[in-house]
Amino acid sequence: MNNRDSILNKIVEVSEAQIAENIAEGTTQADEIINKATMDSNDMLDKFNATTAATFKEVVRRRVSVANLDAKKVLMGAKRASMDTLFESALASAFDMDKKVYLSIIKGMIKENAKSGDKIIIAEDDSKRITKKFVEDIAKAMDIKLTIAKQFGEFKGGIILAGDSYDTNLTFEVELNAIRNDSETELASKIFKEQ
């Protein structure tokens, strides 16, 4: 082996050792970088997952809350419509009730509210039931003067007492609305028993 080969071998030997050392050092640094990047990525992923989970839970909570509110609105609307139907049905059946019962109610309204000189306004549909004689008999029993107005009222059932200074509206619509205002909450709680 000549000097030149010996020098080349020595260079290769030193180079291989240096290369091996450089590769080992590079590998260690690369592993550290990869490990750090992996840990950072895992931390970021954990934070992202936590944030995403919290955001997701909040979105779900809001949607459930809105859905509950919408459901309550729909239920309240259905209850309101049911109450409307109930009172509309009551109004229709009030007018169509038995003549004796109907006249007894009208008589009670007149006795409780009429003043001498009042004119009784009736609905056109009542002209055959609430007669002049019916009113005269009540007025005589009360010892007051009452007459039936010549004009019919635009309502269905009940009466209006037209006085000198004010009118008293005793139509079934008004009476049922008063009953509804006074008792709707109690009536609704009986009809729609909360589960």
- The answer on pLDDT for 56 being more than 60 is yes
Q: Is residue 81 part of a domain?
A: no
Confidence of residue 150 (pLDDT cuts 50, 70, 90): very high
Q: Are residues 65 and 117 in the same domain?
A: no
* Integer angstrom CA distances of residue 78 from 64, 82, 168, 176: 21, 6, 33, 20
Range of the domain at 115: 97-191
Which of 57, 72, 87 is the last residue before a domain boundary? 72
- Are 67 and 33 in a shared domain? yes
pLDDT surpassing 90 at residue 138? yes
Q: Which of 41-45, 59-63, 74-78, 157-161 has the highest average model confidence (pLDDT)?
A: 157-161
Name the phi and psi angles at 169, rounded to 5: -90, 110
In this structure, is residue 186 part of a structural domain?
Answer: yes
pLDDT at position 195: 42
pTM value is 0.57
pLDDT at residue 146 in the model: 92
Assess whether 67 and 3 both reside in one domain: yes
> What is the per-residue pLDDT for 6?
64
Mean pLDDT of 106-118: 92
